[in-house]
Amino acid sequence: MLGMLAVTALAFFVSRQQIEAADWIARTERAIARLESIESDLLAAESTGRAFVLTGASDLPARFSSLLRGALDELDALARLLRDNPRQQQNIAELRPYIGARFAVMQEMIDARQHLGLDAGIEIAKRGTGRAGMAAIKTRIAAMMEYEQELLDIRMTQHARVVRLSHGLLIAIVIVGSVVLTLLFRLNMRELSRRLQAEALAKREARHDALTGLSNRRSLLERLETAIPSAQRHGHRLALLYVDLDGFKHVNDSMGHAAGDELLRQAAERLSRNTRAEDILARLGGDEFLIAVPFVQWPSEVAVLSARMIETLSRPFALPGGEARVTASIGVAIYPDHGDNIEELVASADAALYAAKANGKGAYHFPAHARKLHVA
């Protein structure tokens, strides 16, 4: 009887701690999601403001104001969510002036463009405060995200201590006579831990490429399902770069699969170094990669990025058995110019890649037809 009571009390204690940990994790994830939303809205607002200075499109000032207002509303919601955290409240209080100062300059640029013309707007932009101001905002948001992750790690450590304590109590139960119940409980805990670890590993393997560690096709498509609506909502373009290594098969056949695998790993690292944090880089399989680039204003930006990718992949690779060279062909598709959904964009990028290879390889290619493409 005493053993049963002890096991019941222990199970209640451990389950209570697990519930508290789950609540903590959920709140942390909500806080991080709001921080990501704030950063996304601010980047889109800045991009919209600059687009207005360059184009003078009449609908952009209203969109700029809406995005900025949305970011500030998210910041207020974050302050309410973290009201019991003095450090984050201080971070939020320090972040507001950064946002206010940066977007006061953006509003000044917009006002100058509206009332005085293009040259006046560009003159304000030349002050050079843009990148520094936005960098300060991104740094502050990144620090807040890092702190939330630290809190989460602390809570998980505390939870691990509770589990270890429960094991110690189980030993005490064994001493007082509840041997069978204790062994069953420990076996169940061990099995549960094993299953949780296996599930975590399976989830990661299901979303990442085992060779390069990049996102896989499934993970890429899931993220594009949110990236395209975001581009539509914020009024910006989204580019897809379909990358294929020319000459990979020859390396794989002549130098062996170990050399081919190492080439793919190094190619993934080079592509990663040439992408931004907000870009999505995935390996589709074989020697094919796909890069999604949000917040695109002009197709010429994508052309510059594609040329840089081709140049970095054309450098020699140090592989087991010697040095090897390959080139890269890239097919480019841009939302909404070459498609309104994932399937159309991927198909357009694939067709452009085929054209790049047919025209001699080692180059990038845009689809031949676009609904409203204007190259700047």
Which distant-in-sequence residues (6+ apart) come within 8 Å of 361 by Cβ?
A: 246, 327, 329
pLDDT in tens, the chain (376 residues): 655 566 566 666 666 766 777 777 888 888 888 888 888 888 888 888 888 888 888 888 888 888 888 889 999 999 999 998 999 899 999 888 888 888 888 888 899 888 988 888 888 877 755 567 778 888 888 888 888 888 877 877 776 776 676 666 566 555 655 565 566 566 666 665 566 554 544 454 567 899 999 999 888 888 888 888 888 888 888 999 999 999 999 999 999 999 999 999 999 999 999 998 889 999 988 899 999 999 888 888 899 999 999 999 999 999 998 999 999 999 999 999 999 888 899 999 999 999 999 988 899 999 876 544 433 3
**What is the strand order of the sheet 364-365 is part of?**
280-285, 288-296, 237-246, 327-335, 364-365
CB-based contact 219:208 (threshold 8 Å): yes
**Domain 217-365, CATH class in plain words:** alpha beta
pLDDT at residue 324 in the model: 95
Q: What pLDDT was estimated at residue 180?
A: 57
- Per the structure block, which two tokens stand in for 60? 């952009």
Q: Give the per-residue pLDDT at 2.
A: 58
All structural domains of the chain with their residue ranges: 1-207, 217-365
Q: Cα–Cα distance between 234 and 60 in angstroms, integer?
A: 10
Neighbours of 353 (CB within 10 A): 23
- pLDDT score at 332: 96
Q: Same topology for domains 1-207 and 217-365, yes or no?
A: no
Looking at residue 227, its pLDDT comes to 87
CA distances from 228 to 2, 39, 331, 342, 344 (A): 60, 17, 19, 8, 12
CATH fold, domain 1-207, is Four Helix Bundle (Hemerythrin (Met), subunit A) (1.20.120)
List the structure tokens of 266. Answer: 């190094």
CB 14 within 8 A of CB 166: yes
Are β-strands 327-335 and 364-365 bridged in parallel, bridged antiparallel, or unpaired? parallel
Q: Which pLDDT value is given to residue 329? A: 96
pLDDT at 131: 61
User: Is 0.95 topped by the overall pTM?
Assistant: no
Name the phi and psi angles at 110, rounded to 5.
Answer: -65, -45
Q: What was the pLDDT predicted at 197?
A: 59
Give the contacts of 300 (CB within 8 A, at least 6 positions apart): 375, 376
